[in-house]
Every structure is written in C-alpha cells, then in structure tokens.
Amino acid sequence: MKLRRDIFQAISDPTRRAILVLLASQSMTAGAIASNFEVARPTISKHIQILNECELVEANQQGREIQYQLKIDKMKEIDVWLDQFRKIWESRFENLDNVLNKLQNK
C-alpha cells in the first residue's frame, strides 16, 4: 500500500524546502541538486521522490538525464492555505496600529 503524502508533509522538511528554493530559479538534475548538500545522494533522491509524489516538482527526461523543475501551480495551494492566516495577521496588525495611534494622540 502506497502512503498518501500531501504538500505540507513535503515542505515540513528543511532539506526539501531547500531543494524547492534551488529549483525555483532553474531546473536541475538530481546530481546537481545533491551537490548543494552534505548528505548522501540517495538521501537527496528520496527527498526528490517525495517532492515528485506530492507534485511539487516534475521530472523531465532530456536524453540520458532527468531534469527536475518546480511546479508553480502546486505551490499556489500552499499560498492559498497561508493566505487565510495572512488576513488574520494583517487584521491584528491593523488593530494594533489603531490602538497605538490612539495612545499616541492622547
């Protein structure tokens, strides 16, 4: 039975978040990704596999190499989820600004 993973499990690991940052600027092979970390390449391959299963990255065969790239559309799901909190924070900061302004004007 295959484990069902979601994007939040994928981004919970700092190495996977770092891989996403690397792929945000360009597509890369697994070897190029692994060269940025001080862990064994199979470990990085496992992280890439999880990101791929969660559809945060996609693999494209180019000759004998596989290039991995970020899937922006899936990243938007994270942003949509975070947006609900962003609205709460903005509202609280606005309320704090109002209180500070009232205190300052007294």
SS3 102: helix
The DSSP call for residue 37 is S
Report if residue 46 sits inside a domain: yes
70 is written with which tokens? Answer: 């970020």
Identify the domain containing residue 32 by its residue range.
7-105
Report which of residues 98 and 48 the model is more confident about.
48
- Three-class DSSP category at 64: coil
Q: Is residue 92 part of a domain?
A: yes
How many separate domains does the chain show? 1
Assign residue 73 the CATH number of its domain. 1.10.10.10
Q: What digits encode the pLDDT tens for the residues 53-91?
A: 999 999 999 899 999 999 998 888 888 888 988 888 888
Phi and psi angles of residue 67, each rounded to the nearest 5 degrees, phi first: -100, 135
pTM score of the predicted model = 0.77
Other beta carbons less than 10 A from residue 8's beta carbon: 11
Q: Please report whether residue 17 resides in a domain.
A: yes
- pLDDT at residue 45 tops 90: yes
The arithmetic mean of pLDDT across residues 26-47, rounded, is 96
Q: Does residue 3 register a pLDDT over 90?
A: no
Confidence of residue 1 (pLDDT cuts 50, 70, 90): very low
pLDDT one-digit tens code per residue, 4-22: 678 998 999 999 999 999 9
Integer Cα distance of 16 and 96 in angstroms? 36
- On whether residue 2 sits in a domain, the answer given is no
Residue 76's φ and ψ, nearest 5 degrees, are -60, -30
Instruction: For residues 70 and 96, give the distance between their C-alpha atoms in angstroms, rounded to a whole number.
Output: 38
